[in-house]
């Protein structure tokens, strides 16, 4: 008993010492920064908010009921904290509701396959059919002559991976010559497959519609993400028949059976409902400035996702960072000097449409922008910052970062002056105007291979401590930018490196108009 009390006393002393050390890491004695730290690091709501968003609401495909449910949840959540919020319509998009997907191999043996329709795919009632593979033909005339054979069949149109074992595993366990032979054979096979597709006379994007016109029953695809059990899931190119992604393993199984004339037959049932053009919205939250209400700090993250999974790290984590930062600010600094907005954008995955529309519709916010902080590359700790080509922005960042606790700043890397973002994520919608719109770049955390646009982007992939850190950092930056007596300089760099692909001289990116309806989309 005495030993337990002694250990408990040592633990308590250790925790107290840790809190003292943590408190001493603040470079300045700023009570607001301390309150932000306590609210963000000791009373975090990230886990609770993330579980509701990602498990209960789920994926947020633009134009889907899930996206609208998410918009309404954001407004209700902000309202519950006493923060003004609204859903601001910027256009329409093709509405679509996903149902269930079920695919079984029924010959030459029985197996339930891992399958999911691509976004905006038509569904099908229960249907059976043989599986064919895109044939290896000499030219487009031969392809046209073959098309009648594809009628009422399911056609496999993707490259069949010769191995679904990731390269990291091969490199760890196989001998080097074996790995080299595997990679060389795979490259040769992939090049041959690409040539096979080209000889049809169609591209990857146009081939599905041609097969649909020929009367196929459905299309089978695989877009392996080079990791265990992980595929990337995007949108269908068909309008009448389903396009279904099979796992790397199951797609390979069907392909080999068909290639060797072993008679694969599948049964498919896929539910989907098209809802016509439906309104789409950005959700905007606002804490009004008390001294300079017409100058703005914007917390930015896209809210939409692909719907092959839950959209957890793309971009649920960015959403949670900005949502939680606003909660922290409301609790720790409810009367900022400048107005603080949170922009939860729609349509990012279709070309930054929501944020581009907001920038176009609100020139007063673009011109009054003090700073925008955007996060959109996963759950990792923020570690990389760029001045986005603004040559004097570094002085402001230097002041802000110097005031932050070492626990947050010690791993940050800053690029001066950096390059202006031309696309890829939503701060580009503001950078093109020359506005100070910065990206908060996170550590990789296997983002590109395992969670970005994949069927495994789920709540359990969140690194909650890192998201908590990112929300606290963002709240601190918003506070400091809001209270800074000076406006962030917009002086741009004038010298740009040449484009490595074209050799053309670089320049500041031009602003592109948003697509405000499906009909305007070029993607």
Tell whether 222 and 200 lie within a shared domain: yes
Q: With respect to residue 204, please indicate whether it lies within any of the assigned structural domains.
A: yes
124 plus 177 within the same structural domain: yes
DSSP designation for 404: S
Q: Containing domain of residue 393, as a range?
A: 27-94+277-491
Nearest of 70, 110, 32 to residue 323 by alpha carbon: 70
Examine residue 348 and state whether it is found in any structural domain, yes or no: yes
Mean pLDDT of all residues belonging to the chain: 94
Q: Write the pLDDT tens digit of every residue in 207-260.
A: 999 999 999 999 999 999 999 999 999 999 999 999 999 999 999 999 999 999
Residue 59 domain-assigned (yes or no): yes
Cβ neighbours for 329, distance < 8 A, ≥ 6 positions apart:
36, 287, 336, 340, 475, 478, 479
Q: What is the pLDDT of residue 482?
A: 98
For residue 83, the tally of other CB atoms under 10 A from its CB is: 21
- The band of 523, judged by pLDDT with boundaries at 50, 70 and 90, is low
Provide the H-helix boundaries in 241-292: 248-259
Return the axis-axis angle of helices 464-483 and 393-402, rounded to nearest 10°.
120
Last residue of some domain: 263, 289, 321? 263
Pure H helices in 291-352: 317-332
Q: Which two tokens stand for residue 22?
A: 């943590």
- Average pLDDT for 180-187: 98
Residue 306: is its pLDDT beyond 70?
yes
Exposure class string for 20-54: b at 16+ Cβ within 10 A, else e: eeeeeebeeebebbebbbebbbeebbbeebbeebb
**pLDDT at residue 42 in the model:** 96
Q: Tell me if 184 is assigned to some domain.
A: yes
Give residue 5's pLDDT: 36
Asked if 206 and 222 touch (Cβ cutoff 8 Å), the reply is: no
Q: Are 427 and 394 found together in one domain?
A: yes
CB atoms within 10 A of CB 168: 12
Q: What is the mean pLDDT of residues 172-201?
A: 98
- Please name which of 425, 406, 415, 427 lies closest in space to residue 469, comparing C-alpha atoms: 406
CATH number at residue 44: 3.40.630.10
- Same-domain check for residues 235 and 203: yes
Identify whether residues 60 and 138 lie together within a single domain: no
In a domain? residue 368: yes
Do 252 and 283 reside in the same domain of the chain?
Answer: no
* Residue 500: band (very low, low, confident or very high) from pLDDT cuts 50, 70, 90: confident
Q: What pLDDT score does 25 carry?
A: 80
The Cβ-side half-sphere exposure at 421, using a 13 Å CA radius, reads 23
Q: What's the structural domain count of the chain?
A: 2
CATH code for the domain in which residue 155 is found = 3.50.30
Is 503 among the domain residues? no
**Mean pLDDT along residues 10-17:** 37
- Can you tell me the mean pLDDT for 386-392? 97
> pLDDT grade, residue 522 (50/70/90)?
low
- The answer to whether 64 touches 98, Cβ cutoff 8 Å, is yes
Give a yes or no: residue 9 inside a domain. Answer: no
pLDDT band of 515, cuts 50, 70, 90: very high
Residue 352 banded pLDDT, cuts 50, 70, 90 = very high
Q: Model pTM?
A: 0.94
| Rounded Cα gap, residues 205 and 208, in angstroms | 7
Whether the CB-CB separation of 277 and 319 falls below 8 Å is answered with: no
User: Are 123 and 169 members of one domain?
Assistant: yes
- Examine the domain organization and report whether 281 and 253 are in the same domain: no
Percent of the chain with pLDDT over 90: 91
Are residues 442 and 306 part of one domain? yes
Instruction: Please check whether residues 120 and 210 belong to one and the same domain.
Output: yes
Distances (CA, A) of 50 to 93, 160, 451, 466: 26, 36, 16, 13
Same domain, 206 and 286: no
Q: Does pLDDT of 21 surpass 60?
A: no
Residue 149 pLDDT more than 80?
A: yes
Select from 229, 263, 297 the last residue of a domain. Answer: 263
83 within domain boundaries: yes
Same domain, residue pair 393 and 460: yes
Residues 6+ apart with CB under 8 A from 523: 350, 351, 515
């Amino acid at each position: 008993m005495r030993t337990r009390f002694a250990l408990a006393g040592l633990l308590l002393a250790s925790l107290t010492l840790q809190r003292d050390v943590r408190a001493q890491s603040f470079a300045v004695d700023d009570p607001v920064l301390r309150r932000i730290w306590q609210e963000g690091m000791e009373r975090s709501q990230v886990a609770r908010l993330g579980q509701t968003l990602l498990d209960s609401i789920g994926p947020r495909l633009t134009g889907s009921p899930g996206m609208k449910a998410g918009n309404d949840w954001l407004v209700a959540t902000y309202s519950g904290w006493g923060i003004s919020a609204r859903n601001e319509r910027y256009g329409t998009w093709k509405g679509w509701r996903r149902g269930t997907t079920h695919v079984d191999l029924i010959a030459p043996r029985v197996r339930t396959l891992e399958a999911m329709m691509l976004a905006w795919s038509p569904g099908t009632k229960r249907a059976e059919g043989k599986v064919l593979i895109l044939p290896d033909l000499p030219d487009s005339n031969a392809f046209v002559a073959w098309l009648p054979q594809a009628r009422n069949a399911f056609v496999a149109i993707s490259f069949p991976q010769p191995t679904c074992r990731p390269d990291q595993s091969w490199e760890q366990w196989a001998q080097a010559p074996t790995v080299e032979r595997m990679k060389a054979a795979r490259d040769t096979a992939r090049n041959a497959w690409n040539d096979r597709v080209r000889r049809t006379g169609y591209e990857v994007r146009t081939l599905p519609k041609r097969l649909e016109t020929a009367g196929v029953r459905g299309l089978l695809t695989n877009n392996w993400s080079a990791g265990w059990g992980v595929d990337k899931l995007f949108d269908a190119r068909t309008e009448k028949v389903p396009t279904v992604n099979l796992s790397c393993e199951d797609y390979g199984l069907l392909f080999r059976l068909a290639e060797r004339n072993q008679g694969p037959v599948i049964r498919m049932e896929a539910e989907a409902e098209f809802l016509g053009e439906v309104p789409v919205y950005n959700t905007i939250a606002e804490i009004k400035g008390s001294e300079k209400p017409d100058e703005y700090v914007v917390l930015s993250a896209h809210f939409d996702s692909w719907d092959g999974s839950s959209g957890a790290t793309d971009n649920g984590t960015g959403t949670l960072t900005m949502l939680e930062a606003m909660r922290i600010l409301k609790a720790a600094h409810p009367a900022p000097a400048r107005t603080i907005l949170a922009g939860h954008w729609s349509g990012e995955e279709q070309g930054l449409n929501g944020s581009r529309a907001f920038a176009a519709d609100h020139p007063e916010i673009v011109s009054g922008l003090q700073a925008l902080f955007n996060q959109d590359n996963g759950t990792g700790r923020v570690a990389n910052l760029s001045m986005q080509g603004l040559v004097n922005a570094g002085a402001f960042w230097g002041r802000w970062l110097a005031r932050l606790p070492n626990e947050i700043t010690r791993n940050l890397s800053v690029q001066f002056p950096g390059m202006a973002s031309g696309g890829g994520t939503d701060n580009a919608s503001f950078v093109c105007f020359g506005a100070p719109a910065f990206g908060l770049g996170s550590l990789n955390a296997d983002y590109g291979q395992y969670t970005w646009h994949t069927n495994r982007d789920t709540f359990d992939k969140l690194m909650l401590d890192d998201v908590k850190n990112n929300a606290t950092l963002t709240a601190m930056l918003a506070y400091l930018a809001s209270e800074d007596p000076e406006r962030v300089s917009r002086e741009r760099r004038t010298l740009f490196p040449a484009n490595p692909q074209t050799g053309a001289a670089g320049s500041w990116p031009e602003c592109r108009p948003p697509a405000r309806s499906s009909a305007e989309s070029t993607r």
